[in-house]
Amino acid sequence: MSLSVHVEKRLGPAGGSFTLSAKFESEGRVTSLFGRSGAGKSTLVNLIAGLFRPDSGAIRIDDTTLFDSTASIDVPAHKRRIGYVFQEGRLFPHFSVRGNLLYGHRFTRKQDRWTKLDEIVDLLGIAALLDRRPASLSGGEKQRVAIGRALLSSPRLLLMDEPLAALDQERKGEILPYIERLRDQMRMPIVYVSHAVDEVSRLADTVVLLDAGKVIAKGTVNDVLGSRSEMIAEGPEAGVVLIATVRVHDQVSGLTHLAHPAGDLSVPLSSLAIGSKVRVRVRARDVALAVGEPGRISIRNRLAGTVSDITDMTRGGVAVRLDIEGDPLIASVTRDAVRDLDLKVGDPVTALIKSAAFDPLSFGNTTWP
């Protein structure tokens, strides 16, 4: 699926206090609209859904034009075949879970239906919930039902607007594997809105970075989240995503060992299948550097790399970028450390990362790239 968006929308009083002017194209399975609160992410998905009307521009999915101001095309929201999952779930309280799931399905033409109730129930693991009412569900269960309701309308595109924002870390960890299933098993095209780096790193193929209503960067997760953009690379969430393979689970140590060409990584014990590919988010603030043999230290994760760039950051410190067997890695260190280690571009180094630096949200299944 290809998505093409080129829109402008003025919001607020006469003259406009905020203008969204966004242009991007994506063919990724999960396109993340990422940025600070107020950047225009939710406005943009509402324009794609047809809930807001752009002042000008065009929106296309594959060869279908949903909106074109010059051609006077504006397909109504209910005819766009776009599923929408909101932050709060927005389930109908007077319907059972089954009734909520089938609501959109009933209004979808038979020739457009590509899934069935049983398939979605199995995918999302909600068979035990079918006869319950929304009031009796946990936050994570409500979101799974909301996702199922959207899928049973047989959309060609799924919009997810901050779907995990109202959940705690445990509930987020419950939902993320199901969204990964949509991406990897169902190959469902998703536009995913979030300002949480851990969610974007784990799910997205393409990231569109918004700031003050403008697209300021677009590319892969590492292109954007590992870029020199000040709002990412110099913040506490700067980092990259590595692809590793599950090698072994060690019940005694409580660790899962992952294989990467630059060295092994140990993360908290997981249930990921042996041999499966895993996305691992590594934050720059969690990476230390050593020149020569690190010696006897407690840090077990050691990746061999070469310094590819050294950049002073305006807020203090230095971003040292490494090449680790073709993958990027960033270490956020002090200027004193760069001087004492006499770091230069081209130098071989060892990146050191504590296993405790990885939380359960920082790694998960993937079939990407």
pLDDT band at 295 (very low <50, low <70, confident <90, very high): confident
pLDDT of 227 reads 59
The CA distance from 157 to 49, in Å, is: 10
* Residues 6+ positions from 357 with CB-CB distance below 8 Å: 282, 283, 286
Query: SS3 letters for 185-245?
Result: CCCCCEEEEECCHHHHHHHCCEEEEEECCEEEEEECHHHHHCCCCHHHHCCCCCEEEEEEE
The distance of Cα 287 from the centroid of its chain, to the nearest Å, equals 22
Please give the mean pLDDT across all residues of the chain.
89
The most confident of 131-140, 170-179, 184-193, by mean pLDDT: 131-140
**Which of 204-208, 235-239, 279-283 shows the lowest mean pLDDT across its residues?**
235-239
Average pLDDT over residues 298-322: 89
Burial category of 181 from C-beta neighbours within 10 Å (exposed 0-12, middle 13-18, buried 19 and up): middle
The DSSP code sequence of 121-146 is HHHHT-GGGTTS-GGGS-HHHHHHHH
The CA distance from 311 to 314, in Å, is: 10
pLDDT band at 235 (very low <50, low <70, confident <90, very high): low
Q: What angle is formed at CA 363 by the lines to CA 309 and CA 276, rounded to 5 degrees? A: 105
pLDDT at 368 over 60: no
330: which strand partners?
A: 321
pLDDT at 322 over 60: yes
pLDDT of 233 reads 43
pLDDT of 59 reads 97
Listed as own residue / partner, the contacts of 308-313 with beta carbons closer than 8 Å and 24 or more positions apart are: 308/345, 309/345, 310/338, 310/343, 310/344, 310/345, 311/228, 311/233, 313/233, 313/234
Higher pLDDT, 283 or 234: 283
Q: Are strands 3-11 and 157-161 parallel, antiparallel or unpaired?
A: unpaired
pLDDT of 14 reads 53
The CA distance from 329 to 66, in Å, is: 40
User: Which residue segments constitute the domains of the chain, with CATH numbers given?
Assistant: 3-225 (3.40.50.300), 240-365 (2.40.50.100)
pLDDT of 133 reads 96
Burial category of 305 from C-beta neighbours within 10 Å (exposed 0-12, middle 13-18, buried 19 and up): buried
Per-residue pLDDT tens digits for 8-52: 999 876 545 789 999 999 887 899 999 888 899 999 999 999 999
The CA distance from 220 to 31, in Å, is: 9
Q: State pTM to two decimals.
A: 0.84
pLDDT band at 231 (very low <50, low <70, confident <90, very high): very low
Does an H or E element contain 178, and which?
helix 169-184
Verify cis geometry, omega within 30 degrees of 0, for the bond prior to 369. Answer: yes
Residue 214 burial (CB count, 10 A): 15
| 41 CB-side CA count, 13 A | 27
Average pLDDT over residues 205-220: 91
| 149 CB-side CA count, 13 A | 25
| Helix pair angle (139-151, 97-106), 10° resolution | 20
pLDDT at 297 over 60: yes
The CA distance from 345 to 238, in Å, is: 20
The CA distance from 183 to 186, in Å, is: 6
Per-residue pLDDT tens digits for 257-289: 999 999 999 999 888 889 998 888 898 899 999
The CA distance from 158 to 161, in Å, is: 10
pLDDT of 13 reads 64
